[in-house]
A and B are shown apart, each in its own frame.
Chain A
């Protein structure tokens, strides 16, 4: 069975400082991994995805994530936080062809202080 653990339920950073949101996964097979962002009262939007190509994945809005198989991690980073980055972030793992067994982490709420 596959699962995802987001190691922090809440992260607070100052504007202009780096962001690190941590995600560990467990999967029996080669998974696909995703990061989604959810702004208040909105649906989820894809930030980036890993699908067994390059291990360093670049996404929208300056975010990137690195797939580390040895550490079973897929942490999300951004060099410099912006106020508009304040949102909830979800790490997701998928290992089935039909995509019907995507496992979502519990989410990390990112707060950005001025």
Chain B
């Protein structure tokens, strides 16, 4: 079974702090994704990576950056957390190709106070 793990289930940070969210997948998938989930808005793509050190901006990249130094690991960085970044963050991975589904981690609920 594909397993996608995220470093924290719940996180509370203060405004202005630098925040790291880590994601690891164990199935050698080329693609990895970071989404943000807010009620009534579904999932919105923050960043996407299709290979080591490669990244593309998604729909809402402002205020976020990412790092992919190893194939299995994809990190999301909030350089200076703000209250409007309070949300559920979901990591996913997939093989490359139109017909392949994404596999999701359990999510990190981040609260910025």
Contact = CB atoms under 8 A, between A and B. Distances in A.
Interface of A: 9, 32, 34, 36, 41-46, 49, 51, 90, 94-102, 104-107
B40 A9 contact: yes
Interface residues of B, number: 29
A9 B26 CA distance: 34
A99 B56 contact: no
Chain A: interface secondary structure? Answer: loop
Interface stretch (B14-22, B63-71, B77-85, B98-106): B98-106
A41 B97 CA distance: 29
Interface of B: 4, 9, 31, 33, 40-45, 48, 50, 56, 58, 90, 92, 94, 96-107
A106 B98 contact: no
24 contacts: A32-B99, A42-B107, A43-B107, A46-B103, A49-B99, A51-B99, A94-B98, A95-B98, A97-B97, A97-B98, A98-B48, A98-B96, A99-B31, A99-B96, A99-B97, A99-B100, A100-B33, A100-B50, A101-B45, A102-B45, A105-B42, A106-B42, A107-B40, A107-B42
